[in-house]
Structures are given as structure tokens and as C-alpha cells.
Structure 1
Amino acid sequence: MKIEIWSDVICPFCYIGKRNFEAALEQFDHKEQIEVVWKSFLLDPSISEQSSESYHQYLTKRKNMPLEQVNAMLANVTQMAKQSGLDYHLDQSIIVNSQKAHQLIQFSKTKKLGDKAEELLFLAFFTDVKNIADTESLVKIGLELGLDEIELKSIFDDQKYKYEITQDIQEAQNIGISGVPFFLFDRKYAVSGAQPSQVFLETLNTSFTKWRASNPKTPIQVIQGSNCSLEDGCN
């Protein structure tokens, strides 16, 4: 069963949602039959790649909120992250455009490394306070994923991965997604936001039951003949 997740790697609730979803998946009896597909979402495409604004400054300006209120809000988010086992340093994070980070994710997906790419980019931004718009930093993350360095250096100029991002965003708009994280289970059930793991587990159970009813296991009819096996050799 396919679960599609729209997220942005500069969204603090997306990393928390990822962790809570993973906790639910660990408790799910049929996790080996779940396919997770990450989808790109840009919360603010207007942010510069050379931004020097802190997370606090950005939200103060974007939401037109007093700095004290923003500080309190981000302190709550940091505590929420801690409860999910994450270590946020939002007081040090510099807001940058996440387009290139998503290009790395799209490329990683072609190597079946989309989930690991999401994890390392979240970690880089929220915990290690790295500049995820910097090509050199992104190449290092790609190398950590085990990707080829020559290929990595070419993906940021490749229109293919920019197109994939645009397609994901257009798909989100068509579905009616206006915020992330957004988890879509078998295109029939959805969870919006960084919900507790129990909510994800309940949705997993409900959606999988419906999916299994429409996709029953079919026993394979085998015509036996002479063969070789590890246990019995050839007969």
C-alpha cells in the first residue's frame, strides 16, 4: 500500500510528523507491505538562497508577529520536537530557499533513497544548522547517502528535477493540500500535520484493512517439476 507524504525540509512540523509516523509504522504489523513516497512542497519559493534571516526574524516579518511571541512559539515547537526525540536549534537556523534540497531529494528517489535523503536534510537544517541551499553542503549530504559525486554536481542544473518538484506541488494543489506535512494513505485517507503516532497507527490500520480487501493475497499455483534447491540439491 502506498503512502505519499508532502513536506518541506524547512518545516519544523514535517520532521516531527516524520518521526511520529515512523514510530507508528514500527508498531504496524504489515509494515513490509507499505511503500512510502516523499513529495516536494515549497512553503515559500520567494526566499533567497543567500538569505541571512534567522528563523525568528523570518517569522516575525512573514507573520507580522512580535518577536517575543515568535520566540515563545518556536520554544514550544522545540519542546514538541524533543518529545519526538529530535534536537532542534531554531535559534541558530538560517532560513534559505529549499528548492535545491528538493532537487537532491528528487534525484535520491531515483536511487530508492528518498526517505534517507529527507532524514539527512531535516537533520542538517534543524539540528546541525547547515545551509541547505549551498551546493557544496548538499553534495556532501549526497555523498553521505552513497550517491555518485559526478552525478550529484550535475543535478542542480538539471531541469528534470525542477520539473518533478513542480509536478508534486501541482498535484498537491489539485488534491487541495495547502499545508504540510500531509500524509495520504492509498489516496483514500489523509492525516494533516504532525499528529501523535497513535493517530498515524489508527489510520494505517484502517486504510490497510480497506486496501487488503481490494488487494487480497492470491496463492500462486505451482506446477512442480525437476529442480535444484539449497536444501535438497538437484532432483
Structure 2
Amino acid sequence: MKVEIWSDVMCPFCYIGKRNFEAALEQFTDKNHIEVVWKSYQLDPTIPEVPTDSYQDYLIKNKGMSAEQVTSMLDNVTESAKQVGLDYNLDKAVMVNSIHAHKFIQFAKTKDLGDQAEERLFLAFFTEGKNIADLDTLTQLGKEIGLDETELQTAFTDDQYAYFVKQDIQEGQHVGVRGVPFFVLDRKFAVSGAQPSEAFSENLEKAFAKWREQNPEVKLEVTKGQSCTPDGVCE
């Protein structure tokens, strides 16, 4: 069963939601039957690629919030992150356009490294204060998760990866994504926001039950005889 997750690597609740979902999935009996697919979403595609504002200044300038409101909000988010084992250093966060980070993720998905890409980018942005619009930085992060340096650098200029990002965003709008994180389970159930792990567990159970009805497990009565196995044993 497919679980699609729309996310922006600059969204603090997306990282928290990832941890809560992972906690639920780890306890899910049929977790081996779950395929997780990460989808791109940009909260603000107008942010420049060259950093100009801190996280706090960006919110004050662009969201109409006072310095006191922003400080309080970021303190609350940091505390929420701690509750799931994440260490946020939002005072170090570099506010830049996330388009290249999403191209990074789209390329990583072609190598079955989508989850590793999301995790590494979240850590880079929220904990390490790295510039996720800088191509040299992204290339180094890619090497750390096993991506080929030359192929990754090509992906930043290949229009198909920008198209994949745009396609994800349009698809998200079609299914009702108005904010992230947004989890879609088998295109039948959705969880919006960084819900507690219990909410993910409940929806996993419901969605999988529906999926299993349409995809019954094949159980054969086998009459055994002499045969050979792929490991070379013949008996």
C-alpha cells in the first residue's frame, strides 16, 4: 500500500511529522507492505536562492508577525521537536529557495533514496544551519547518502527534475493539499499536519484494511516434490 507524503524541507512540522509517522510505521504489523513516496511542495517559491534573512526576520517581514510572536512560535516549535528527539537550531536556519533541494529529492527517488534525501535535508536545514540552495552543499549531502556526484550535479540543470517538482505540487493541489506535511494513504485517507503517532497508527490500520480487501493475500496449498532453490540446493 502506498503512502504519499507532501512536504517542504523548510517546514518544521514536516520533520516532526516524519518522526511521528515513522514511530507509527515501526509498530505497524504489516509495515513490510507499505511503500512510502515523498512528494515535493514549496511553501514559498518566491524566496531568493541567495540568503538575505534569518528565519525570524523572514517571518516578521513576510507573515505580519511581531518579533515577540515569532520568538514564542519558534520556541514552541523547538520544544515540539525535542519531544520526538529532534534538535532544532532555528537561529542558524538559512532561509533560501527550496527548489534545488526538491530537485535533489526527485533525483534521489530515482535511486530509491528518497527517504534518505528527506532526512538528510531536514537535518541540514533545521539542525546544522546549512544552505540548502547551495549546489556544492547539496552535492556533498548527496555523496553522504550514496548519490553519484556527477549525476546529481546534472540533475540540478536537467529540466525533467524541475518538472517532477512542479508535477508533485500540481498533483497535491488536486488531492487537496493546502499545507504540509500532508499524508495520503492509498488515496483513500489523509492525515494533515504533524499529528501524534497514534493518529497515524489509526489511519494506517483503516487504510490497510481497505487495501487488503482489494489486494487479498495469496495463500496456496503446496504439494511438495524434489526441486532446486536459487541458492543452488537441489533435493
- The interval holding the TM-score normalised by the smaller chain is over 0.9
Aligned to 2:130: 130
Aligned to 2:72: 72
Pairwise CA distance, 1:226? 4.5
Q: What is the alpha-carbon distance in structure 2 between the residues aligned to residue 231 and residue 109 of structure 1? A: 31
Aligned to 1:153: 153
CA separation of 1:225 and 1:180: change in aligned 2, threshold 3 A: same
Aligned to 1:118: 118
Residues 1:8 and 2:8 are matched in the alignment: yes
Residues 1:47 and 2:44 are matched in the alignment: no
Counterpart of 2:36 in 1: which secondary structure? strand
Q: What is the alpha-carbon distance in structure 1 between the residues aligned to residue 234 and residue 11 of structure 2? A: 57
Q: What is the alpha-carbon distance in structure 1 between the residues aligned to residue 90 and residue 230 of structure 2? A: 55
Query: TM-score, normalized by length of structure 2?
Result: 0.96
Aligned to 1:86: 86
Q: What is the alpha-carbon distance in structure 2 between the residues aligned to residue 221 and residue 190 of structure 1? A: 37
Query: TM-score, normalized by length of structure 1?
Result: 0.96
Aligned to 1:165: 165
Residues 1:188 and 2:188 are matched in the alignment: yes
Q: What is the alpha-carbon distance in structure 2 between the residues aligned to residue 11 and residue 206 of structure 1? A: 27
Aligned to 2:142: 142
Q: What is the alpha-carbon distance in structure 2 between the residues aligned to residue 220 and residue 158 of structure 1? A: 47
Give the residue type in structure 1 aligned to 2:88.
Answer: Y
Aligned to 2:217: 217
Counterpart of 1:190 in 2: which secondary structure? strand
Could you tell me which runs of 5 or more consecutive residues in structure 2 were left unpaired when the two chains were aligned: none
Q: What is the alpha-carbon distance in structure 2 between the residues aligned to residue 231 and residue 113 of structure 1? A: 28
Counterpart of 2:144 in 1: which secondary structure? helix
CA separation of 1:232 and 1:165: change in aligned 2, threshold 3 A: closer
**Segment drifting more, 149-158 vs 98-107:** 149-158
Q: What is the alpha-carbon distance in structure 1 between the residues aligned to residue 123 and residue 97 of structure 2? A: 16
**Segment drifting more, 34-43 vs 167-176:** 167-176
Equivalenced residue count is 235
| TM-superposition CA deviations, 1:3-33 (whole Å, max 9, x none) | 0000000000000000000001111111010
Q: What is the alpha-carbon distance in structure 2 between the residues aligned to residue 107 and residue 101 of structure 1? A: 10
Pairwise CA distance, 1:218? 1.6
Counterpart of 1:42 in 2: which secondary structure? coil
Counterpart of 1:6 in 2: which secondary structure? strand
Give the residue type in structure 1 aligned to 2:142.
Answer: G
Contact 2:106 2:165 in 1 (8 A): yes
Give the residue type in structure 2 aligned to 1:126.
Answer: F
CA separation of 1:163 and 1:223: change in aligned 2, threshold 3 A: farther
Counterpart of 1:191 in 2: which secondary structure? strand
Alignment of 1:19-38 (within 5 A): 19-38=19-38
Counterpart of 1:65 in 2: which secondary structure? coil
Q: What is the alpha-carbon distance in structure 2 between the residues aligned to residue 109 and residue 231 of structure 1? A: 31
Contact 2:92 2:128 in 1 (8 A): no
